[in-house]
Copies of this chain bind each other. A is one copy, B any other.
Amino acid sequence: MKQILITKQDGTKEPFNVEKLRHSLTRSGASEQEIDGVVDYVKKDLKEGMSTSEIYKHAFSYLEHEKKPIAARYSMKRAVLALGPSGYPFENFIAEIFRTKGYKVEVGSVVKGACVEHEVDIIGEMNGQKIGAEVKFHNKLGIRSDLKVALYVHARFEDIRSGKIQIDEDWLITNTRFSSNAIKYSNCINMKMISWTYPKQGNLHDLIEETGIQPITALTSLSGAEKKKLMEQKVILCKNIESNEEILHSLGLGAQKIENVMAESQALCRI
């Protein structure tokens, strides 16, 4: 194949590198055979000057038709990352997952410990059992929640329990990953940890699959700026759009675009 220059997000050009595409597909859990399928499909329509995000969308559209679970995994991490830069939308996204699992949930409660007051990101209650969760959002996938985070979360819940407030289970949830020391410590003190890949069963990816809760950032028919505006108005979940078509009008979107967004959210967000 002759060398084709593609356009990166910052506007600079670089030669299309099939290995980069393969690498990112491998990380999403695709098999060699599936990757070959995507690569053939992408190469066929590759054009000089295409942007990396066009190529990504193209690969995604193939996967979406052929291999739904891989497509989901491939895009889900990116969609959750796009909930930033503040941690608030991710917190509400996690709260909704707990609600869907049957918990009565409070977000950002201030709770009196034996020594000081603490803000607890999520308190969930079901059948008289109470869980407390600290939710750590990071803007880059490379950043880990480390031992210090696990230590302070444990000390916080201990102080809350010493203040005679019921918390039966401590949770620490992140959109990135944990250091091995953080995992070792949390297992030892019996604190539950959730990241994309931890634990093997019941991790963040599994929870999203299981509950079908999708963030609005997973929609491809809205621009980044449009998603930001929705999040500013506390619209975080794909399913919130379904019941709230006026909010799309308030963004100044045309009728055709609104129709596209509604169609995509119906397909993607499994209301």
Instruction: Give the chain B neighbours of A184 by CB distance below 8 A.
Output: 115-116
Instruction: Give the chain B neighbours of A185 by CB distance below 8 A.
Output: 115-116, 159
Would you call A156 an interface residue if the criterion is a C-beta within 8 Å of the partner chain's C-beta atoms?
A: yes
A118-B118 Cα distance, complex, nearest whole Å: 25
Instruction: Give the chain B neighbours of A155 by CB distance below 8 A.
Output: 151-152, 154-155, 158
The residue from B115, B147, B159 contacting A116, defined by CB atoms under 8 A apart: B147
**Range of interface residues on A (Cβ < 8 Å):** 20 to 34
The residue from B117, B118, B148, B159 contacting A152, defined by CB atoms under 8 A apart: B148
Would you call A263 an interface residue if the criterion is a C-beta within 8 Å of the partner chain's C-beta atoms?
A: no
Interface bits A150-191 vs B (CB < 8 Å: 1, else 0): 011011101100000000000000000000010011001100
What are 23 contact pairs spanning A and B, CB under 8 A?
Answer: A114-B188, A115-B184, A115-B185, A115-B188, A115-B189, A116-B147, A116-B181, A116-B184, A116-B185, A116-B188, A117-B181, A118-B147, A148-B152, A149-B152, A151-B151, A151-B152, A151-B159, A152-B152, A152-B155, A154-B155, A155-B155, A155-B158, A159-B185
